[in-house]
Amino acid sequence: MINSHVDMLRSRRDRIALLMLFTGIAGCASPLDTDHRDVASIKEQLGTIQNLDQARGLTEGETLESILAAAKLKEKQTADDRLEIEKRLARIAELVKPGKTIDFTLQETRRQTLQNNLSIQAVLLNPSIAKQAIRLQQAKFESTFSLSVTQSRTVAPGYNSASQGNPTTETDYFVAVPSVTVPLRSGGDLSIDWTTESSLNTTNDSSSGLAIIQPSVSITQPILRNAGYDYNESSIVIAKAQEAEAEAATQYSILSTLLAAETAYWTLYQAAETLAVQEDIYNYTKKTLDDTRIQVNAGFGSISSVYNFEVTLSSTVSNLLTAEDNLAMAIRNLKSTMQDPGISLDGSVAITATTKPILRAYEFDTTLLVDAAVRNRADLLELEAEQIAATIEVLAAKNQLLPELDFVGSYTVNGFDSNERSLNSARSNLFDGLRTTNPVGFSLGLTASVPLGNEAADANYQSALLSRLQAIANTRQQEITVATEVLDAIDSLEFGWQQILIARYEVAAAKRNLEAMKTLFQLGQRTSTDLANAINLLAGARINSVTQDASYQIDLANLANTTGCLLGHAGVEWGDVSRLDLLENPQILSPPIPFDVADPPPADTAAKEATPSATAAPAPATTDE
């Protein structure tokens, strides 16, 4: 009955404990619950691609039909109405003149990109992450201090007799084991402990006990498998090779981003120069139209010439707006690459490229350039580091083919006291025993293990061999790719220089042709169509010349990139440019303009524009250029 009652109480106690445990678990919010909700929120946004209209970023304007209808009404107006249209075209042409501008050199563009570009800031974390992996591998040789302390008392019933009553036996037990474990670079473990133990048995008036102090040293050392410095430190070297891979990948990414910045810079230069050409063509066409209208009003020439130049003027305004739009996108592209926090991505601030193109012919030593690329290219260095890691993996896997044979040994010094049961006496007995004949304990042994077949280790070894061969093949293939890229870049530069010379000749010829057509048109020997075509030929020739100049600069930057370098006299130290604060710094856009920019702005808006805006983008940091 008593046992049954005890079992019932224990069962009830267990149920209460389980209930309390489940209540505690239910009351504690798991961090995974938030993750589950986040994943569910992401999945709700997937599966259906929204229309662009649903983003509410577009506002519908006039339809093409309404614009054409309005244009037909305009055609019926008088000559004064056509002049009003020309004034509107002139106002539209004035829109291409930027407001606030900032001058940037190519060197400043590189510096701002290196310091502020978030993709660079993100990849700069990879070497730091790899460095922590090295620390993790080195930490396996750190010593460990352990301490175990136990104090207990047990009570047991003794022999029952009429004379002695109902005696009980109490046992007090204390043990403390401090120890230090030292991993050896040879693969073994050295352990030192200082076991301190005392026990006291008490029955009525009698007692007995023992005090023990037992320092011991033990060692476990592999002899074949897992033995040797080469095997046990291989993981550290592999981690260092992976750090080199991370640094090489980081440098390659930085060079690619800087090449993108240089490309964006020269694209901006090309767009700005193209806009300047279109402005010149617009002004020239406008002056030609005005001169022709004066001549027709004076009784010379045909009114059809005026109409022809009006059409040409409209075309030049359209080209002007297209060039301005291309410039705005080029500026935004450069801003998004540099990511200067002091410059907003909107059009409130324009950037002017002040570095002039390098218009110089070069002679190329293909052998030296290819050799330099093989030495400097970060992607090749990354593959070489990967090849080193694969080689170490082969050595480590080869070690695992050996059978397991370990030496195990220990040495123990004893100090006992069974009289006074004092730890101090046991300690004295210990040190006295070191000088006399107090017995010591020791053990020596070998453990062996040999897999029958050893298929797992052999498969791992063969896989490591194949991975190393794969790394070697990838390196050789990339060397061929690098050499091809260098030679292609050289060919592009040589071709680009010839295109620059041809473009210069084309511009000179187009200028002579325009002057001749203008003279012949004034003499009545050529039509207005011939003069308009000459104007367009000059515009095309000048734009082609600007395009060839910018392309040549991009080809120069690409050649430097294919050799793992940058243009300029100084290199780039990227190891100390990490800025974690930029990873959470958003861009702030200015509000949109609230009126039709093709019309004169309202008086109150014009007054506001005359004063500095409170929301204007801050001025960029001063540079040392």
- Decide if pLDDT at 364 tops 80: yes
Helix (H) or strand (E) holding 244: helix 234-297
pLDDT of residue 166: 62
3-state secondary structure of 468: helix
3-state secondary structure of 331: helix
Count the helix, strand and coil residues of the chain and give each as a percent rounded to the nearest 5: 60, 15, 25
pLDDT of residue 552: 92
CB 187 within 8 A of CB 222: yes
- For the segment 563-576, the average pLDDT, to the nearest whole number, is 63
β-bridge partners, 153: 172
- For the segment 38-59, the average pLDDT, to the nearest whole number, is 48
Type of residue numbered 111: R
The model's confidence at residue 310, banded by pLDDT at 50, 70 and 90, is confident
CB 338 within 8 A of CB 279: no
Beta strands at 404-413 and 440-449: parallel, antiparallel or unpaired: antiparallel
Q: Give helix 303-338 / helix 79-94 axis angle, nearest 10°.
A: 20
β-bridge partners, 445: 408
Residues of the chain with pLDDT > 90, as a percent, come to 31
The 10s digit of each residue's pLDDT in 129-167 is 999 999 999 999 999 999 999 999 888 876 555 555 566
